[in-house]
Amino acid sequence: MAIIATVFAALAALLHVYIFVMESVQWTQPRIWKRFGVADQQAADTTKPMAYNQGFYNLFLAIGAIIGIALFWAGAAATGSVAAVSGKTLVLFSLGSMLAASLVLLTSGKGYLRAAATQGTLPLIGFVLFLFA
C-alpha cells in the first residue's frame, strides 16, 4: 500500500511542479494563458504577478510532498520512527492542501470543474492511500 500511495503522492507533486512552471515561468505564452481562460495577451501581462505568486504556492506544496515522501521512506524500516511519522504527516498535509485548493477552485464556478478535478484527483487518491500506509 505504501508504494502505491507514494506513486500517487509523487504524481500529485509532479503535477504541481508542472502547474508552477505554467504559472510562474510560461504565463505570458499564448498556449498557457489560453489554457487558464485568460482573454488576451494584455490580460496575461496584467495578471503575470498574480500567476507568478500562485505558481510558487503550487511549487511549495510539491516540495512538501516530496520531502515528506523522502522522510517517510527514510524511516520506513523502523516501525513508528520519527522520520516515518513526520514524513507521513508532511505528505498528508501537502496532499490535503492540494485537495483543499482544488475544492476552492471548484467554488470559483462550473467552468473550473475540469481543472479542479485535474488538480485534486491525484492528491485525493494519494491522501486516502497514505492514511492506510
Share of the chain above pLDDT 90, in %: 90
Cβ atoms of 88 and 75 closer than 8 Å = no
| Helical residues (DSSP H) of 29-111, grouped into ranges | 30-35, 41-74, 82-106
| C-alpha–C-alpha distance, residues 83 and 57, integer Å | 25
Per-residue pLDDT of 2-56, as tens digits, reads 999 999 999 999 999 999 999 999 999 999 999 999 999 999 999 999 999 999 9
